[in-house]
Amino acid sequence: MAKKVLIIGAGPAGYPAALRLKELGAEVTLAEVRDMGGTCLNRGCIPSKAFLNIGHRVHMFQGLSGLLKENSGINFSTDMLDWTKITAKRKEVSDKIRTSLEKLFQSKKIEVIKGYASFTGKNEAIIKTADGEIKKEFDYAILASGTVPSCPPPFNSCPDLITDSDRVFDLHEKPEKAIIVGAGVIGLEFACFFNALGIDTTILEIMPDMLPGEDPQVKRTIRSSFEKKGIKFLFGRKTDKITAEGKLKTLKLDDGTELKADTILVGAGRHANLEGMGLEKIGLEWNRKGVKTDNEMRTSVSNIFAAGDINGLSLLAHSATKQGIIIADNIMKGTHKAFDQNLVPKCIYAWPESASIGLNKASAEAKGIPVRTSRAFHAAIGRAVASDETEGFVQIAWNPENDIILGAQIVGGPATELIHVMALAIKAGMTREQMKDMIFAHPTMAEAIYEALSK
């Protein structure tokens, strides 16, 4: 008899798990209260990249102004941009992918129920739909309900005066002046997008620095680039009070400084979306950070797994997908595959792009691993100079005792694509000398990897 699996959440953890389970012969039910694709497709990764693509095209077009003939009659201004068309393009991208995904599930004959699922026992759940309740029995369940935006004080007391990383995609008009609370990936990407569209942008961060855990050289390069664009940073500052007069909001900071803007985007992280799911009925403990699991994503209840953001292992869509597939294989094949966080690329899709994988100098030293780093700057790479992409570098961390590559950090160029070269090297346990035996095409941005290996 086919194993019955209930998946709660159709985001980047849930839907790949469903497809893999179906492929392996399981009887699958996928419950989703909102849209297929989850936050990533509808309110996160994909729509934000649609926005960033538009912003980058504007940025590139402005960079051509020095090549135009005098008196060409072309005087581009960001005031010429139509916000309604920009948001419509964003919606078109998500709608197209979601429609394809829905058709795929129909073709695979996977049961998808639009409703809110909650447990009534370790092998039973109720899915509340618009037409009533559906009882589902299962052998295994996968929690993949993701996260929702966090809203710390004092912002939680005035939700009508702010937007967050979900609602920002539905702004009715282009902001004139924006304050972004949080200097993490969400904050940095939206700051870059807003700035490209001519929006006066300030990033406010309560911590003394951006991107916790990231390599210091990466952070310095990104901050310098952003400041050259006109994006302002305020670190180590806390908001005490928010007031509004018409469309204009005022943030009063703890040092008495006042900041004014028509749009306040709170990008201060996200927390687990698990309320009302009846976890207490199956003896499963959870908090705002999520559900604790082992590296096979198994919870304290042996037939219940948790994949994606809600297990706190790695809050990235591609991590969620890998976890969902690992769980499916372990359920159907009886294997014990584990999730390896060291192989997860971390990407920022601003410009310059940034990506990292594995260990950097600080994280290697924290683990007691001998480490050295070598770096090559794009300014010395022919393709980068020809493409006017000289900002940034490739940095490689390696163990001087055995020459094995430990990690890499890339800023500039197609960093989010190039990082996979380094991912393969780390996965294969390659040494610097082995990787240098590769032939890197000339001229390419990837030559920076060879140069860094050769330092």
> Which positions are annotated as active-site residues?
442
Evaluate whether 61 touches 76 at the Cβ level (below 8 Å). Answer: yes
Q: 292: which 2 tokens?
A: 């604790």
Distance CA 302, CA 331 (A): 11
Distance CA(194)–CA(301), nearest Å, equals 45
Other CB atoms within a 10 A radius of the CB of residue 365 amount to: 12
Distance CA 208, CA 96 (A): 41
Q: What DSSP character marks residue 298?
A: B
Contacts of 6 (CB under 8 A, 6+ apart): 29, 31, 117, 125, 136, 138, 140, 141, 142
Ramachandran region of residue 37, left (φ > 0), alpha (ψ -120 to 50) or beta? left
Residue located via tokens 């180590």: 236
Q: In the chain, what is the straight-line distance between the N-terminal and C-terminal CA atoms, in Å? A: 59
Residue 73 identity (one-letter amino acid):
G
| Closest C-alpha to 220, from 449, 266, 228 | 228
Tracing tokens 């916790």 back to the chain, one arrives at 212
Are 162 and 189 contacting, i.e. CB atoms less than 8 angstroms apart? no
Cα gap 214→346, rounded to integer Å: 10
The single-letter DSSP state of residue 185 is: H
Name residue, tokens 């030293």. 365
- Residue identified by tokens 């050259």 is 228
User: Which candidate, 205, 293, 204, 271, places its Cα nearest to that of 39?
Assistant: 271
53 φ/ψ angles, rounded to the nearest 5 degrees: -60, -45
